Amino acid sequence: MCLFCKIVNKEIPANIIAEDENFLAFHDINPKAPVHILVIPKIHVDSFDEVNGETMAGITKFMQDIAKETKLNESGYRVITNIGENGGQEVKHLHFHLLGGAKLKWEHFTDADPKDFL
């Protein structure tokens, strides 16, 4: 069973923010911003690459509700999902990072010259 499935099953503790029948939100253990929340479906989905529209519709509403409850929506925030090797995905269970609480940086993600790929 993967790490986040263990959190869903309460086999591993997490600092849970919100939960319903289908989704779970908890604080990232190694935050990269003042607010860093992870949102996952309770069913195991490997990554965004595998997710269906129904789960996306549900998790979108769930994330929007969290943004309202935490007031992230008032100051702005970022939603990120990493996919696979190049995306830097470490945990192979679909998760969305909700980041905020301060003005976030927006820089080049690689030393490769983007113009080489145009």
Q: By the criterion CB under 5 A, which residues form the site for Zn ion?
A: 2, 4-5, 44, 93
- 76, two tokens: 């702005």
With respect to ligand AMP, which residue has the nearer C-beta, 70 or 89? 89
Annotated catalytic residue within 36, 44, 93, 95 = 95
Stretch touching ligand AMP by CB under 6 A, among 54-62, 65-73, 81-89, 98-106: 81-89
Choose, by CB under 6 A, the member of 10, 29, 106, 114 that binds ligand AMP. 29
Choose, by CB under 6 A, the member of 90, 107, 111, 116 that binds ligand AMP. 90
User: What SS3 state is found at 63?
Assistant: helix
Q: Is 95 a catalytic residue?
A: yes
From the list 40, 104, 45, 46, the residue with the least C-alpha distance to 77 is: 104
Upper half-sphere CA count for residue 64 (Cβ side, 13 Å): 6
